Amino acid sequence: MGARTGTTVASGRVAFRTAIALALLTISAGSLGCDHDTTVLETHPLDVTGATNATLRSFYLTMSDGVRIAVDVSVPTNHPSGVLLPTILEMTRYWRRRSAEPSYHILRALQRGFVWIAIDERGTGASFGEWQEPLSDRALQDGREIIDWILAQPWSNGRVGATGVSYPGMAAQQLAAYGHPALKAIVPMSDTYDQYEDLIFPGGVFNEAFMQGWGDVVFAMDRNESISVNGESFRQVPVDADPSGELLAEAIGEHAGNLDAFMDVQAIEFRDDLSISGFSLDHFSTHSVAGELDESGVAVYQWGSWLDGGSADGVIRAFMESTGPRRATLGAWTHDLSSNSSLRDGGRWNSIPSDDLQWEEALNFFDDVLRKDKPLQERILRYFTMGEGVWKATSTWPIPGTDIETWYLGVDGSLTTSAPTAAQGEDLYEVNLNSESSADPRWLGPLFADTWYSDRAARDLALLVYESEPLSDDLEVTGYPVVNLNLSSTHSDGAFFVYLEDVSPQGSVAYVTEGILRGIHRKVTEEPSAWKRPIPYHSFLAADAEPMVPGEVTELAIGMEPTSFLFRAGHRIRIAIAGHDASAFRQVPEAGTPILRVQRSSIYPSSIELPVIR
């Protein structure tokens, strides 16, 4: 696709980590309250007397096809060990460097004796070439060639790791699957495992605001337009040999033909559709190379969040579809892991644990694999239970001992464990096309790095709500809730959103999780993966699509995004049903206002199945 003639950059809250001043850490990664005698962070003593300085060089490396790739190489100096050093590689589409000073995370890696290398993916940043698809085979080949270059350097110990948040995290996994014997460990953070289901079409509904915003941002970056993050403006930095920026301007000129991502996906509706340029969303999804990654032997430590797009589903799927040792962590933080996203777990701006301790844990992992040659031996997924504030761990999913507890939609907006007995019962709901789940919903988190659901009491006034009596005891829900709705609609298609919420004795309403399903995708089929998620599987294939019959009752089986949440005694469980989320999604159907009749009779019961840990 050619260049656009104009664009509007999405409000400047681009998902970059904000650079902060270097400060030596003086606290250990202490134990948090956890089951199974585990901690979310390994208790390694911190080395606060590491490298005291570093050299930074920025230059072009010419690939085997003649394209020049911009590379930043930071090498620690005065490191007390005086031995060869491991390397951490970041392949990014978001500019390898955005300011004169490196971020805290890079500085801390250097202090601990890692070489840090950041590269602009071909066709982006200061690199030459065109970007015609995300993480193309040619781009991954560039990564292989750069690892070859690393191995030839006098400071290299011959062992390389790869990391990154979001797109660079996906690049780390794709590069590991592509294969290089020196790539030994990866730490992908907040990556997207399944582009269709976990981000761009959750439940088969187009996440239009994300794709529009992301397309606008990368369009601006490809032309070296100024990007504002938290009030600070950034521009691309040329390599050292290009102080006038002439080579940078030449590279940017080659980006004029880059793919227009938002326009390109307009041809996609079903999972097996191809974009205008001819690729499917599965083509560059990590789940498509999960087998190759598993066979590579690369040590993986994956990070995600319960509240960042479909990140948690991806982390659990990747963990369970792998066969060897693997480590994963699921928290309740924003896309950039720097802030809290759970209303019931303290302030908005403080992640649990802090992002510097998270990074310390990632460096500990790299240190074990890349410096100490300590093989990863365990399978462990650590997860944070929201509302309880406790870290726990498991080696499998679902959690052993999980019970399924069914709650039924009842008369007068009730939610009860007793199945309905009346032969008739329904609630009428006219879809509110202006309803929004949040100003900062999870589905825009990968764009703005800022998921937050404030008290939803006012928003729920526009939705169809069912609520339990106050709980007599604490109730932990960990896993994939499943909603079974029997309903009819005045239209042959629709987007159905169901929110699971926690209502405090004071009346505040906290978002827990949600499920989404487009009506034409309601057919339940066999999941093709080796590990079957404990939810109804919808293929989202064109052949399985089926219009709804207006006025006819149909069943919608909706798997919700996984969660771990403790409903406290005295709190109520709430289910809120919507037919649109104007904060992110394209309206379905495009015209008209559907009227729904939600059934709650003995013939057509509607319910939610909660995975309960007792």
Please check the confidence at residue 36 and state whether its pLDDT lies above 80.
no
Catalytic residue among 120, 222, 242, 308: 308
In this predicted structure, what is the pLDDT of residue 191? 95
In this predicted structure, what is the pLDDT of residue 230? 61
Please check the confidence at residue 153 and state whether its pLDDT lies above 70.
yes
Question: Which DSSP string corresponds to 529-562?
Answer: SSSPPSS-B----GGG-----TTS-EEEEEEPPP
Q: Please confirm, yes or no, whether 58 is among the known catalytic residues.
A: no
In this predicted structure, what is the pLDDT of residue 436? 97
DSSP H or E run through 247: helix 246-254
What's the mean pLDDT in 278-307?
Answer: 95
Given a contact cutoff of 8 angstroms between Cβ atoms, the answer to whether 46 and 25 are in contact is: yes
Q: Which residue has the higher pLDDT, 16 or 553?
A: 553
CB atoms within 10 A of CB 413: 13
Q: Which residue has the higher pLDDT, 45 or 393?
A: 393
What's the mean pLDDT in 378-382?
Answer: 95
Please check the confidence at residue 23 and state whether its pLDDT lies above 90.
no
Given a contact cutoff of 8 angstroms between Cβ atoms, the answer to whether 156 and 85 are in contact is: yes
Contacts of 350 (CB under 8 A, 6+ apart): 339, 340
Please check the confidence at residue 12 and state whether its pLDDT lies above 80.
no
Encoded tokens for 345: 């777990």
Of the chain, the percentage scoring pLDDT greater than 90 comes to 82
List pLDDT tens digits, range 64-80.
999 999 999 999 988 77
List pLDDT tens digits, range 519-530.
999 999 999 988
In this predicted structure, what is the pLDDT of residue 176? 97
Encoded tokens for 131: 């970007």
Catalytic residue among 103, 156, 166, 275: 166
Residue 192: what are its φ and ψ, rounded to 5°?
-115, 115
Please check the confidence at residue 22 and state whether its pLDDT lies above 50.
no
Beta-strand (E) ranges in 274-360?
A: 299-305, 326-331
Instruction: Locate the domains of the chain by residue range.
Output: 35-394, 403-613
Of the chain, the percentage scoring pLDDT greater than 70 comes to 91
First and final C-alpha spacing in the chain: 54
Q: What is the mean pLDDT of the chain?
A: 90
In this predicted structure, what is the pLDDT of residue 49? 53
Torsion region of 324: left, alpha or beta (phi above 0 gives left; psi -120 to 50 gives alpha): beta
- Residue 229's pLDDT band (cuts 50, 70, 90): low
Q: Which residue has the higher pLDDT, 44 or 235?
A: 235
Given a contact cutoff of 8 angstroms between Cβ atoms, the answer to whether 334 and 308 are in contact is: yes
Topology (CATH) of 403-613: Jelly Rolls (2.60.120)
Q: Which residue has the higher pLDDT, 446 or 2?
A: 446
What's the mean pLDDT in 173-189?
Answer: 97
CA distance 110 to 76: 5
- Residue 20's pLDDT band (cuts 50, 70, 90): very low
- Residue 51's pLDDT band (cuts 50, 70, 90): confident
Q: Please confirm, yes or no, whether 335 is among the known catalytic residues.
A: yes
Encoded tokens for 305: 């969040």
Beta-strand (E) ranges in 450-532?
A: 464-467, 475-479, 482-489, 495-503, 509-518
Q: Please confirm, yes or no, whether 521 is among the known catalytic residues.
A: no
Contacts of 537 (CB under 8 A, 6+ apart): 524, 525, 526, 527, 559
- Residue 187's pLDDT band (cuts 50, 70, 90): very high
Regarding the domain with residue range 35-394, which homologous superfamily does it belong to in the CATH classification? Answer: Alpha/Beta hydrolase fold, catalytic domain (3.40.50.1820)
Radius of gyration of the chain (CA): 24
Catalytic residue among 79, 105, 180, 335: 335
Q: Cis peptide leading into 400, omega within 30 of 0?
A: no
In this predicted structure, what is the pLDDT of residue 25? 22
List pLDDT tens digits, range 477-512.
999 999 999 999 999 999 999 999 999 999 999 999
DSSP H or E run through 214: helix 208-222
List pLDDT tens digits, range 320-366.
999 999 999 999 999 999 999 999 998 888 888 988 899 999 999 99
Encoded tokens for 456: 């939803």
